[in-house]
Homo-oligomer: A and B are copies of this chain.
Amino acid sequence: MPQPPAPRKTPGRPPRISREEVVGTARRIVDSEGVARLTMRRLAAEIGSTPMALYHHVRNKEELLVLLLDDYAARTLHRPGLPAEPRERVVVCAAAIHEALAACPWIVEVLTADDLLSTSALWFVEQIVDGLVACGLPPERAVHGYRAIWYYTAGEIVVRTTAGRRRADDGRPTYREQVFDGLDGDELPRLAQVAGRWQELTAEDTYLHGLRALVDGLLTPR
């Protein structure tokens, strides 16, 4: 006995598209053509609807991106094996989040959003907080510690990817890059000393090193 399209009970015009369809189609566009191609008009056309219809399933484009990020996290954020040492657990979980985010740089505009991502990321947050507690922090301090780790992680991603994007835009010197040229070696000796290697030095991936330092510092009683 196949109930055809399942009898609806709710009043009002029945929806022709769903939030899932919106997000799923958006994901397909982003995956295949890049986030720049994801416009509300394009998305609506792909779905076979009109741009404004999307706004009944998504508050605005930013929320759509947040949903995309959550969707992405749910699919690619796999739980790592946890080391016994709680401090190392914290590091491993933060690094896992970082790695997943670094792999999809279009996230930047969303990353600024809030602290925790999708429900699938909550497990990682739990592990981090729990690891900090296991190392002796009271729960409140552990939450603060998690926040510090998140600030550091989000900041790293945001700064790095936008710096990279800027360089990609058009080859030539952004205003900021000229700042090292007329450097006064008397007043700023340290910077003058490393000026030539600045690009190279700041291009290195030191996320893990900084993360370890932060975690160590959070866990060392003052």
Contact = CB atoms under 8 A, between A and B. Distances in A.
B116 A206 contact: no
Given A126-B188, A139-B194, A204-B144, A151 B116 contact: no
Contact of A190 (B133, B158, B187): B133
A13 interface: no
A113 interface: yes
B143 A176 contact: no
- Give the interface size class of chain A: 35 or more
- Oligomer copy total: 2
Contacts of A74: none
Interface of A: 59, 63, 66-67, 108, 112-116, 118-119, 122-123, 125-126, 129-130, 133, 139-140, 142-145, 147-148, 150-156, 158-159, 162-163, 166, 174-176, 179, 183, 187-191, 193-194, 197-198, 201-202, 204, 206, 209-210, 212-218, 220, 222
B152 A214 contact: yes
A210 B202 contact: no
Contacts of A116: 176, 179
B126 A175 contact: no
A128 B58 CA distance: 44
B213 A112 contact: no
10 contacts: A114-B174, A122-B188, A125-B191, A139-B190, A140-B197, A144-B209, A151-B155, A213-B220, A216-B222, A220-B220
